[in-house]
Amino acid sequence: MPAPSPKLHDFIATHRRISPYIRHTPLIPSKFLSVHCDADVWLKLDFLQPTGSFKVRGALNKLAQLADADPFPGVVTASAGNHGLGVAYAAEALGLAPVTVFIPRTAPESKRQKLAQYHISVQEAGETYEDAHRAAESFSAESGAQYISAYNDVDIILGQGTCGLEIMLGLPTADAILVPTGGGGLVSGIALATKAINPGTHIFAVQPTASPAAKLSFEQNFPIDPYDHEPTLADGLAGGFGSIPFYLARTLVEDVLLHTESDIRRAVFTLLNREQLLVEPSGAIAIAPLLASPESFAGKTVVCVLTGRNMDASVLADIIRTESTT
């Protein structure tokens, strides 16, 4: 069943609600990418949020809706890392407990270490996000804790969409916004907020070729969730595309652009080498279309949303070693 579509005033109200706890992150021009594409390219630095990821926006908005419950039931979620960090940060900021986060055994060490800094319970379950998701839902059913979806929830989508609201406040004439896409919370939120202000702005979802759930969902006109993905450096984008994001965004997303692991490595290295920005693969993928097909964006004003910076040092070292010799 399609969810009611949020309106511009909903995003404005959400932004006011979460503003005390987030950063209105910078929107900066990229000289290198602008010259490379013969375009006007801007970077939305949402990896500068308190947890190193945009995910804190949605988590804060969702938990704020639960804060007045008496008694508070506790919350549980599943995450590859960044959403769990967002929930942990939001709970701490709002003074809520208990919090349980299920992560797969393959979750990056950098995100594990950050989660360990919060007063939450972290549980391992399986090898994939879907394994952790099933375990978290079982825990919710048994304990009564409120399950917090990483993307398939209107309150989460409203929170993520405040990123699009900020982009439009800074650059309302943008021709295109490139959005890293996994479960769909961010791309649907940005699409809804952006189109409410400038219907002419084109929204492009960017996914790893190893996990093209959004692409397949739009092609088949049905949300595919879960999705049995291949291994990818962009762990935060791996898995299915949610039903609520699908029904909200299916007419608003211009296209879904797929990029290989090689493209993703190149994007991480380019941001580090050319812009001195440390961005994890799931966030750096936003610039991959500009690197691969610069002519497609010539003459346009383009915004790339850089969503996270929580990357293992060993992964970064490997990317630097391989890319600096090519």
Cβ neighbours for 264, distance < 8 A, ≥ 6 positions apart:
208, 232, 233, 234, 281, 284, 285, 288
Residue 325, pLDDT score: 84
- Residue 127: C-alpha distances to residues 100, 111, 266 (Å): 18, 15, 26
User: Are 226 and 267 in a shared domain?
Assistant: yes
Question: CA-to-CA distance for 118 and 223, rounded, in angstroms?
Answer: 34
What's the confidence (pLDDT) of residue 68?
A: 84
- Kindly give, in sequence order, each residue whose CB lies less than 8 Å from that of residue 103, ignoring residues fewer than 6 positions away: 78, 79, 80, 81, 84, 111, 112, 115, 122, 123, 124, 125, 132
How many other C-beta atoms are found inside a 10 Å radius of the C-beta of residue 268? 28
- pTM of the entire predicted model: 0.96
For residues 292 and 219, state if they share a domain.
yes
- Separation between Cα atoms, residue 110 and residue 40, nearest integer Å: 33
* C-alpha to C-alpha distance for 194 and 182, rounded to whole angstroms: 19
Final residue belonging to a domain, choices 113, 148, 183: 148
DSSP string, 93-107: HHT---EEEEE-TTS
Domain co-membership, 43 together with 123? no
CA angle 269, 235, 80 (to 5 degrees): 130
* Domain boundaries, position 215: 8-53+154-323
Count how many residues are written for the chain. Answer: 326
Asked if residue 316 and residue 219 are part of one domain, the reply reads yes
Q: Which of 133, 148, 163 is the last residue of a domain?
A: 148
Question: Phi and psi for 142 in degrees, rounded to 5?
Answer: -80, -35
- For residue 26, which phi and psi values (nearest 5 degrees)? -65, 150
* Count of beta carbons in the 10 Å neighbourhood of residue 17: 16
Residue 3 lies in a domain: no
**98, 120, 148: which is the final residue of a domain?**
148
- The owner of tokens 């996000």 is 129
**Domain-located, residue 227:** yes
- When divided into structural domains, the chain yields a total of 2
Per-residue confidence of the chain (326 residues) as pLDDT tens digits? 455 789 999 999 999 999 999 999 999 999 999 999 999 999 999 999 999 999 999 999 999 999 888 888 899 999 989 999 999 999 999 999 999 999 999 899 999 999 999 999 999 999 988 999 999 999 999 999 999 999 999 999 999 999 999 999 999 999 999 999 999 999 999 999 999 999 999 999 999 999 999 999 999 999 999 999 999 999 999 999 999 999 999 999 999 999 999 999 999 999 999 999 999 999 999 999 999 999 999 999 999 999 999 999 999 999 999 999 87
Q: CA dist 54 to 24, 25, 37, 190, 307, Å? A: 11, 10, 26, 12, 5
Closest CA to 217 of 239, 232, 195, 194: 239
For residue 121, the Cα-to-chain-centroid distance in whole angstroms is 23
Cα gap 306→259, rounded to integer Å: 16
Mark out the alpha helices in the chain (DSSP H runs): 8-18, 31-37, 56-66, 82-94, 109-115, 129-143, 154-170, 185-197, 213-220, 243-249, 261-275, 281-284, 288-292, 313-323
For position 119, which CATH number holds?
3.40.50.1100
Is the preceding omega at residue 226 within 30 degrees of 0, hence cis? yes
93 shares its domain with 33 = no
Question: Which DSSP string do the residues of 143-154 spell out, in sequence order?
Answer: H-PEEE-SSSSH
For residues 111 and 197, state if they share a domain: no
